[in-house]
Structure 1
C-alpha cells in the first residue's frame, strides 16, 4: 500500500486544500510564492530531468512507490504539493508515513519552509538503518577496467561509507559500500545481456552492503585493482547523502551501460549531498566511470587517492622480487609443500627462501580463487602458511604496490581526430569522433597494457573534390592481449563489428562485418607483447557475387613501448568461403604530445587478389 492515502485537490489556480491542515496550507502558499518545485535541489531529490517538450519534466525514477502524487513522475509541482500534504498525515502510519519514507525531502523542506508542528511518527525502520550505517567519511571507489564483463569494461564506481574518519588503512573492512547496479536475470545469455544493458532492458537499484564483500569480489574473484578517492564532505552533507540513500532503497531506475549507469547515479547522490554543484550535466550521452571520478575532482570534492591492489597484482610484485631462475621452485613448492625440506630450498639465503615460500603461498591461493574448496589443497595452503610464519622475520618488507599513473590521470575518454591520407592515387582528409575509450597504440598511462576498448568510433572522409563520405564506423572494437606465462594463463581475445571499406574486384566497397579471435600473448623485450589469434569473420560485401560470406584466418603482431612512442605491427590473413583470400600488413605508431594530444601514424598494405593497395595516414588526436 502506498504510504500516503491522502486526497489532494489541486484547483485550477493551483491552491492545495487538504481539509483541516492549516500548517500545510501555509507552507504550500509559501512554496507557491517561491516556486519551490523549480528549485534545483527539489528537482534533484526527485531525479527530474527536462523533457523533450520545453517546460516539461520527467523523473528518471521508474518506480511508482517513489512518488506521492499520481502525476509525480512528470510534474514537480504536483509532487511537492502531495509531499507537503503527506507530511501532515496521522502519525499512526509509523514507518509507512511520508516523513519516515522521505527523510531527505523532509529535512530540505524544513530548511526552506515554516512547517510548524507536524505529526511525529515513529520511524523505527529508518532509525535502525541510520544506527547501522554510520559514516564520518565518504570515499569514491573506482574498481579498474574488467574486459570480461560488458557492464564492467569501462570500470565501475561506488561509494564507501567509513564509520571512523580517522581509522587507519585496513579498518575499511568495517565500512559499507553503496552500489548501483543492474538486476540481471541469471538466465540471460551474453548477447541478450549486452542488448538489454544497452537498451535499458534491466532495472537498476541501489544496494548497501559490507565493503569487504566488494573487496573480495573485485580484488580476488575478478582480479581488479581498486582506486579509492576520499571525498571532502562535511557531517551535514554526509547526513543528507545517507538520508537520500534511504529514500532510494528498493526504488527502480532504468539501467543503461553507457549513460544511466553506476557512475551516473553515484554523481546524483553527490549532487544531493552538496547542493549547488553540477556533476551530471556533462554526461548527457555517456557516463564513463573514470570521467565521473574526474568530475568529482574538478568540483573540489576529492582529497587524494589510495590504491588497493588485486590479488594478482600483489603476486606479480612478489614474483618480480625473485630471480626468474627460482620461479620453477615457486611452482614446485606450491604443488608440493613437502619440498620445503629439499636441499635446494635449504641452501637459499634466508630472505630469498622467505620470498619463495611467500610467493608459493600466494600463487596457490590465487589459483584457488573462485573454485570449490579442495581439502587437499587447503592442507597444502596451511602447510605453506606455517612455513611463512616460521620465516616471517627473514621476509623483507615489501614496498607498497602503486602503479606509476593512476587512471584519473589517463587521457580523456572521448577523442577527436583529424588526418591526412594517401591511398594509391586517392588523397583525402579524415574527421573522426570516438565516444570511448582507448586503443592498443594509444598512451597507456593509466590503462592496462594490451587492452583496447573502442566504442562508437565514427570516421568521415573528405576527398580532394570536397565530397564528404563515411570512411568507417566501429560500433565495438575490443581486444584483451594479456600476456601469458607459467603463473598467469589467460587467453587473449578480440571482437569487433561495424562498417569499413574494402577493395574487392577492382572497386572499393563499404562492407558491414563482425569478427573475433582467440589466442595467446607473450611478454617480449622493449616492454612489449607478441600476440597471435585464430580469427573468424562474417562480412556483407556487394563486391562478392554472394554478398554474405564467412571467413577464417589468423592475426598476429607485436606491440612495443619505446619510451613515449608505442608501435604496433600486425599481419593478418583471411580465407573466405567463396575462395577469396585477403592479406594485410599494418604498422601503427602513436606519439603523445601531451596527456590529451597525440600524433598517430598508420601504414597499411592490403592484398585482396587481384588488387593490392597501400595507404599512409597521419592523424592528430585530441582527447576530452
Structure 2
C-alpha cells in the first residue's frame, strides 16, 4: 500500500512540475485578480481566519502565531491574503511536510477555486493531511451531541463534536474508526469543579481542537459517563465538504481563549460550520452559547440534516432491556444478580426465550456496573465474561437491542426562560407582579429531550417582585444542580441516589419583604420511580445562611418531593420540607409547596403555585422559552 502511494506521489510530482512550467501565472496577476474579487474582505476568507466580527475591522480569535503567514495576519486580512498567495503559488508546487499548502489546505482549496488555478491535486502529496482526511474517502460529516452530564461541570449542558464519515459507514451504524474533531479547554487536569467553573467563566483556560477516532468519544460518553449520543448527518455539497474537512485540519492544536458559557465547544463547532454554511450562524445571545441551541439552529435549516442517528448509552440500553423483561424474567434476573454462582444452573433450567432475555439483560448490567464497582470491577468483568459465554452457547439469535421511541434534542424547547406572573399572600392586600429570568437551563417540571429527567440545572436565575413602585429581589440562584438517578433498578451499582447543590440568595420565607439572605445548601437522599412518569425523592438537607432576625444560620432538615408528569402537557410538583435551626434552640420551620405546569406550546407554558410557610402565598404566570 505504501509502495503504491509512493509511486502515485512520484507521478503527481512530475505532472505538477510540468503543469507548473506550462501554466504558472505570475504572482502579480494573482494578487491583481484577488484585489478585483475583493477576496481580502470576503466573508468566507474572514471566517477561515476566525475574525470577529466578520469584517475587515475584525480580529482573529486564534492566538497561535503558527496560524498566520503574515506577522500582522491576526488583524490584517489583506496582509494575510497576500502572504498566503505568495507562499502557496510561488514557483513550482511540490508540497510536502510543512509546506503552506499542507498546513492550510482549506485556504489552498478556496483560493484555487476562486482564482481559477485548479491545482487541487497538489493536496494528494500532503501525507499527514491525507491520513487525517482518510485519503479523500470522507463522504459526509455529522454533528454529534452528547447529552448533559451533571457529574462533571464541563458537561452540564451537553457537548458537541464533529464526526468525519468514511464512505458507506453511516448507514451501517456506528463507524467507530472514523475521525472526529473535538474542541475543549486544555490544562484543566487537577482542577476541582469550583476552580474549573471560575476559570472557565473568566477565560482562565486556553481551548483547542483535537482529532481522534470516534471510538474514544463513543466509549467515554456512552460507556463511562452513560450519556446518550445523537448524530446529525449533514447534507453538504462536495466542495463544501472538502473545504470543511480541510479547515478542521488547519485548526488542530491552535489556541483560542476558552469561555465556559460563550466561546465553548458549541460556539467553536458552529463557527467551524459557518465556513461553509453561513446560514447556520451562532445563536445571537451575547452572553452564552448552548450546544442544544446550536443543534436546533442546524436542524431548522432547510435540508441541511440528512438523517438523525440515536446511539443509546450503556445505561439506556440496559434499562430498555430490563424494562422488556416480564415479572418471571425479572425475578430470575434478581436471583442471578444476588447469587451469581447460581447463574449456570438456573439458566439451564429456564426455557430458551427466557434464557436469551435474562442473559442479554445480565450482559448489559455487568457492563453497566463495571465503572461503579470500584475495587470489584474485576469481579464484574468476570461475571460479564461468564454471562457472555453462556449466551454464546445458546443457538444463534440476535442480541436484545434498545426498544422505544426517543425524542431528538433538537425537538426540545429553547434553553432560556422568562416568566411574568402575579402573586399575593395573606400578609398583604396588594397584588404583586413578579419576573423570573432563568438564562439556563431546566427544572424538575420542564426537562425535555437531552435533559436529565426529574433533575434541575439553573445558573444565574433571578426572581424579582414589583409592588407599589418598588422592585425587590426575591431569590437568586447563582447555581442550582439537582441530580436524580432516574430509572434506577436498585441493584448494586445502580442505586437511586439523589443530590442537590445550591448557592445564591433566598428570601427567608415566601411572604416576607426585604428578607433576602445569602445561602449555600446541599441535599442527599434516595428516589423511587412509581411509574415511568412519577418519581418521588426523600433527602436530608444541610444549609448555611445569613441570620435574619434570629432565624438561625446552621439549618438542617428533610424534604419529600413528588414529581408527576400527568400528560404530555401537564406536570405537578409537591414538596414538603421540615427544617431546624441548630444554632437557635432548634427553631422549627415547615414549608409546603405545590406547583402545576401546563405546556401551552413548544416555547410557552403556564404555571401556578401555592406555598405554605409563615403564611399563604399564591402565584400564577405565563413563561416563554428563548
TM-score tier, shorter chain, comes to 0.7 to 0.9
Find the aligned partners of 1:557 and 1:125 in 2 and give their Cα distance. Answer: 57
Secondary structure of residue in 1 paired with 2:72: coil
Post-superposition offset of 1:410: 1.3
Identify which of 495, 511, 525 aligns with 2:517.
511
Is 1:158 matched up with 2:165?
Answer: no
Instruction: Tell me the distance in 1 between the aligned counterparts of 2:480 and 2:262.
Output: 19
Question: Gapped runs of 5+ residues in structure 1?
Answer: 1-20, 607-611
CA distance in structure 1 between the partners assigned to 2:83 and 2:61 by the alignment: 19
* Cα distance in structure 2, aligned partners of 1:571 and 1:414: 28
Question: What CA distance in whole angstroms lies between the structure 2 residues aligned with 1:337 and 1:550?
Answer: 46
Q: How many residues align?
A: 591
Q: Of residues 240, 250, 267 in structure 2, which corresponds to 1:237?
A: 240
| Match 1:587 to one of 581, 584, 594 | 594
What is the aligned counterpart of 1:470 among 460, 470, 473? 473
Q: What TM-score do the two structures reach when normalised by structure 2?
A: 0.86
Instruction: Look up the match of 1:66.
Output: 67
Superposition deviation, residue 132 in structure 1: 5.2
The alpha-carbon deviation at position 80 of structure 1 amounts to: 2.2
Q: Deviations over 1:449-500 (max 9, x none)?
A: 212112222332221x233333332222221112444232152111122223
1:499 to 502, 505, 514: 505
Q: CA deviation at 1:504?
A: 11
- Equivalent residue for 2:576? 571
Give runs of aligned pairs for residues 136-535 of structure 1, distance below 5 A: 136-165=139-168, 168-170=171-173, 172-274=175-277, 276-280=278-282, 282-300=284-302, 301-324=304-327, 326-334=329-337, 336-342=339-345, 345-369=347-371, 371=374, 377-393=380-396, 398=400, 400-423=402-425, 424-425=427-428, 426-442=430-446, 444=448, 447-463=451-467, 465-483=468-486, 484-487=488-491, 488-503=494-509, 508-525=514-531, 527-535=533-541
CA contact (8 A) 2:606 2:620 kept: yes
C-alpha displacement at 1:75, in angstroms? 2.6
Bigger drift between 563-572 and 523-532 goes to 523-532
Deviating more after overlay: 109-118 vs 163-172 = 109-118
> Are residues 1:135 and 2:116 paired?
no
5+ residue gaps, structure 2, are 1-23
Note the C-alpha offset of 1:227. 1.2
- Write the distance in 1 (CA, Å) between the matches of 2:565 and 2:354: 31
Q: Distance in 2 between matches of 1:318 and 1:118?
A: 50
| CA spacing shift, 1:28–1:329, aligned 2, 3 Å | same
8 Å contact kept, 1:173–1:212: yes
Deviation at 1:73, TM superposition (A): 2.1
Partner of 2:11: none
Query: Shift of the alpha carbon at 1:525?
Result: 4.6
Question: Residues 599 and 136 of structure 1: is their aligned pair in 2 closer, same or farther, counting only changes over 3 Å?
Answer: same
CA contact (8 A) 1:89 1:119 kept: no
Q: 2:561 aligns with which of 552, 557, 560?
A: 557
TM-score, normalization by structure 1: 0.87
Q: Distance in 2 between matches of 1:258 and 1:134?
A: 36
Q: How far apart are 1:621 and its partner, in Å?
A: 1.1
